[in-house]
């Protein structure tokens, strides 16, 4: 009897893996991108404070890309991920392992285009509510509001170009952070992008640094992780577990949250590792190890407000 129950539960776990399907309304978008050999786009990013910036994407298959933005650029040649930071005039090289090459593609502004590599990216979307077409940046776009399967999540919508059948933009609001991104130029390539578009070339005068040697993590870097991954569950009006992660005073002021002498004992690091505390971010994919280490390194360096 026990055995039968066990095998039944195994079956349900296995089938549950296939339950998440791309909603019908997003299938043309996901399929068109997934079948394409290449993609280029120039994306206008409009921040909540009305400042704007531009990002340039070149995507190829199986996992080669270049993302160029105001802060620097990231190139993946399939084996290595090169990340150049303009502010520090330096770059790092990290080997491709598992899906780590997808991390730079998961930022809110670029999320609609993750389907180019991975159709299952949209399988956590529970439902889609279609709005009416409107003109944005000279383009007729229809708002598709997405409801995520995991409940109280960020508010995300795709701005669909109905003629193309592909999203040419996205809006996203998590906690107090909102962003609108619209692809002013967008092309689905008929062939793989030229290799030289995707080759890493270090800018003149730039230096290479070992990512393991970077101990210099500012609070700004840490807050960016909390803002992206911990909202809307840990802000002043929704303090799950009694924890507010919206600003420095709230973070360092919270009970047990920050431990300078021994970061491994802080509730934040423990929750991220699922050690004694419920694993965070709750019901979402775990943070990559490098980010957990960044937060720990910030604590270790004195948890300064920099
Ligand atoms: C989808 C909502 C959600 C997200 C996102 C989320 N949390 Fe939580 N968090 C909770 C809930 C709910 C609790 C209360 C414990 C529980 O119910 O599991 C909690 C509890 C905690 C606690 C324990 C507080 C205590 O002292 O008991 C910590 C630490 C924590 N979260 C950190 C984080 C961090 C860091 C992130 C982002 C990387 C994050 N959480 C993202 C919902 C969330």
The predicted-structure confidence for 117-170, as pLDDT tens digits, reads as follows: 998 888 878 889 999 999 999 999 999 998 865 443 457 899 999 889 999 999
What average pLDDT does range 267-280 have in this prediction? 89
Which whole-number Å values give the CA distances from 90 to 77, 197, 250, 263, 295, in the listed order? 18, 20, 32, 27, 21
Q: What is the pLDDT of residue 213?
A: 63
CA–CA distance, 93 with 76 (Å, rounded to integer)? 10
- Name which of 1-10, 14-23, 121-130, 218-227 the model is least confident about: 1-10
What average pLDDT does range 11-16 have in this prediction? 35
Q: What is the pLDDT of residue 16?
A: 34
Question: Which residues does 100 contact at the CB level (< 8 Å), separation at least 6?
Answer: 81, 94, 288
Q: What is the pLDDT of residue 158?
A: 95
What average pLDDT does range 182-195 have in this prediction? 95
Gap from CA of 215 to ligand 1 centroid (Å): 26
CA–CA distance, 82 with 208 (Å, rounded to integer)? 10
State if residue 230 touches ligand 1 by the CB under 6 angstroms criterion: yes
User: Which residue puts its alpha carbon closest to atom 10 of ligand 1?
Assistant: 240
- Name which of 93-107, 120-134, 179-193, 221-235 the model is least confident about: 93-107
Domains in the chain (CATH in brackets) are: 20-211 (2.50.20.10), 215-300 (no CATH)
Q: What is the pLDDT of residue 17?
A: 36
pLDDT in tens, 64-122: 999 999 888 999 999 998 989 887 798 888 888 877 788 778 777 898 999 999 988 88
pLDDT in tens, 198-210: 999 999 999 998 7
Identify the residue with better confidence: 261 or 196: 196
pLDDT tier at 178, thresholds 50, 70, 90: confident
pLDDT in tens, 245-259: 999 988 987 777 887
254 CA: nearest ligand 1 atom: 26
Is it true that the peptide bond before 232 is cis, omega within 30 degrees of 0? yes
User: Which residue puts its alpha carbon closest to atom 18 of ligand 1?
Assistant: 278
State if residue 271 touches ligand 1 by the CB under 6 angstroms criterion: yes
Identify the residue with better confidence: 173 or 37: 37
241 CA: nearest ligand 1 atom: 14
Q: What is the pLDDT of residue 3?
A: 40
Collapsed DSSP state (helix, strand, coil) of residue 221: helix
Per-residue pLDDT at 37 exceeds 90: yes
pLDDT in tens, 283-301: 888 999 989 999 998 887 7
What average pLDDT does range 22-32 have in this prediction? 94
CA–CA distance, 303 with 248 (Å, rounded to integer)? 9
């Amino acid at each position: 009897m026990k055995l039968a129950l066990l095998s039944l539960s195994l079956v349900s776990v296995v089938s549950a893996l296939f339950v998440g399907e791309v909603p019908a309304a997003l299938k043309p978008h996901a399929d068109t991108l997934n079948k394409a050999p290449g993609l280029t786009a120039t994306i206008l990013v409009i921040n909540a404070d009305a400042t704007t910036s531009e990002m340039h994407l070149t995507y190829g298959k199986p996992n080669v890309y270049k993302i160029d933005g105001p802060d620097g650029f990231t190139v993946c040649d399939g084996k290595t991920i090169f990340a150049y930071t303009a502010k520090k005039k330096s770059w790092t090289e990290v080997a491709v392992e598992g899906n780590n090459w997808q991390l730079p593609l998961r930022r809110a502004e670029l999320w609609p285009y993750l389907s180019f590599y991975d159709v299952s990216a949209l399988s956590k979307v529970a439902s889609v509510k279609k709005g009416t077409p409107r003109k944005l940046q000279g383009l007729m776009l229809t708002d598709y509001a997405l409801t995520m399967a995991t409940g109280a999540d960020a508010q995300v919508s795709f701005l669909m170009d109905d003629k193309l059948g592909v999203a040419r933009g996205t809006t996203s609001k998590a906690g107090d952070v909102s962003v609108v991104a619209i692809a002013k130029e967008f092309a689905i390539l008929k062939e793989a992008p030229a290799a030289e578009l995707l080759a890493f070339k270090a800018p003149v005068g730039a230096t290479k640094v070992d990512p393991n040697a970077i101990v210099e993590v500012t609070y700004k870097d840490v807050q960016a992780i909390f803002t992206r991954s911990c909202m809307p569950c840990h802000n002043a009006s929704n303090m799950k577990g009694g924890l507010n992660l919206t600003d420095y005073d709230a973070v360092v002021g919270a009970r047990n949250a920050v431990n300078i002498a021994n970061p491994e004992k802080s509730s934040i690091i423990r929750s991220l590792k699922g050690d004694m505390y419920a694993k965070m971010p709750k019901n979402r994919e775990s943070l990559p190890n490098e980010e957990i280490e960044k937060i720990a390194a910030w604590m270790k360096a004195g948890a300064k407000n920099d």
